[in-house]
Structure 1
Amino acid sequence: MLIEGPVEFVTEDGRVVRSDRPVVAVCTCRRSLLYPFCDTSHRRRHRPDESSREASS
């Protein structure tokens, strides 16, 4: 999710995280190593293709 910055987040463990960038990418899938910021880790999730789904049926 893209939001206008600067932003400041308080994480679940109470840590305060700040970004001064004009636009901030926020992770909504929780796969990011930079959480709460997006690092595009969601792109590495592979979906099975059609042939592997047919073979498993």
Structure 2
Amino acid sequence: MCVDPQGPVLVEGPVEIVLDDGTVARSDRFMAAVCTCRRSRTYPWCDTSHRRRGRTAPAPPDRSP
């Protein structure tokens, strides 16, 4: 198991996680990223929502006269 303080917990799969309401989430992947920040839309699996969002494209040039 690998723990990233700014991200998910990586667990060798397959994985079963029992959620608070008693439902079981399963992953058959060889490595599963389990969300620790609870921002994921696919909780309990990480969707990288913990990453800071930044501008990926360069700003357009200034066209002031």
TM-score interval (norm. to shorter) = 0.7 to 0.9
- The number of aligned residues is 46
Q: TM-score, normalised by structure 1?
A: 0.73
1:42 CA drift (Å): 0.8
Q: Which has the larger radius of gyration?
A: 2
Q: Which residue is 2:48 aligned to?
A: 40
State the identity %: 70
Moved over 6 A (4+): none
Structure 1 segment 16-35 matched on structure 2, within 5 A: 16-35=24-43
Structure-2 change in CA distance of 1:44 and 1:14 (3 Å): same
Any gaps of 5 or more consecutive residues in structure 2?
A: 1-8, 55-65
Q: 1:5 aligns with which of 13, 16, 29?
A: 13
When normalised by structure 2's length, the TM-score is 0.65
Q: What's the CA shift for 1:45?
A: 5.8
Alignment gaps of 5+ in structure 1: 47-57
Distance across 2 between alignment mates of 1:29 and 1:45: 15
More helix by share: 1
